Amino acid sequence: MTRARMPRPHEVAAARRDPRLVRALSERDLDPTWRTRGLCQSVDPETFFPAPSEPADAAVALCRTCDVQGSCLAWALDVGDCHGVWGATTPRERRAMLVAWRSEVHSAPYDAERLAGMNVLRVLEQVGAASG
């Protein structure tokens, strides 16, 4: 297996303008339950992890119609996942997005109110799961 090359500056610049990345940035941490609503829940997981020589068209097409596409891509970029199709992107597309993502996320001002809201949501989910 060969190591993927680093994206070139023009690829990163194009990734910054990609509507999928813009959506992922706006939906980052918005809904921690996004996985339960993904269209991928009813599809064989192998569809989203084709062999390198196989096309990913079916997975990408399904993702494009999914309501949680932005949250899914945000998760993949947050964890740096470079395998499979996430948020209607292939690993190759995400390499350039990942560079843009990291600079956007790390340059964003600290938003204590947003983080506090996310913590409250997590606590409420845990309480609901424990009592349900």
- Known binding residue 66? Answer is yes
Q: Which of 83, 70, 86, 91 is nearest to 20 (CA)?
A: 70
- Judge whether 87 and 69 are in contact, CB under 8 Å: yes
In the chain, pLDDT over 90 holds for what percent of residues? 63
Mean pLDDT score across all residues of the chain:
83
pLDDT value at residue 34: 94
Q: Quick one: pLDDT band at residue 105, thresholds 50, 70, 90?
A: confident
Query: CA 51, CA 83: separation in Å to the nearest integer?
Result: 10
pLDDT value at residue 120: 45
Query: CA 20, CA 53: separation in Å to the nearest integer?
Result: 24
Report residue 28: phi and psi, to 5°.
-60, 125
Beta bridge partners of 89: 86
pLDDT value at residue 118: 45
Q: Is 23's pLDDT higher than 80? A: yes
pLDDT value at residue 109: 54
- Known binding residue 82? Answer is no
Mean pLDDT value across residues 32-54: 94
Sign of torsion over alpha carbons 33, 39, 40, 41: positive
pLDDT value at residue 119: 46
- Residue 85, token pair as written in the block: 């199709």
pLDDT (tens digit per residue) in 44-90: 999 999 998 899 999 999 999 999 999 999 999 999 877 999 999 99
